[in-house]
Amino acid sequence: MLCSIFPYLTQASAFFGIVSAGAWFYSSIVKVSREQMVAQRTKQALKKGETPNLAGVSLDGNDVSATLSAQSKWNAVGAIMAALAVALQSASSLINCG
């Protein structure tokens, strides 16, 4: 029975590995512009009925805090996908279908 799922474990591991690489690559290039940050904070503040806090630090037209936050989220996605890939690869190596 376990041997019947062996190919799927390997394929799923490869899939999650590719998704992980893509997420980590994207995390290295994602940028949030000052305009995007202002729009996000304004939208969030309107939902809560508050005044938006538009303070921030910009570098080359990109908001530093929002960019770091976006990069952190994509980095986490990459790490989770890599963990799944390794777990599936480990599970497939434990199954000896000789």
> What does the pLDDT read at residue 33?
95
**pLDDT in 10s for each residue of the chain, 98 residues:** 677 887 899 899 999 999 999 999 999 999 999 999 999 999 999 999 999 888 889 999 999 999 999 999 999 999 999 999 999 999 988 886 75
Query: Measured in Å, how far apart are the chain's first and last C-alpha atoms?
Result: 14
**Position of tokens 């304004």?**
42
Task: Annotate 51-93 with three-state secondary structure.
Answer: CCCCCCCEECCEEHHHHHHHHHHHHHHHHHHHHHHHHHHHHHH
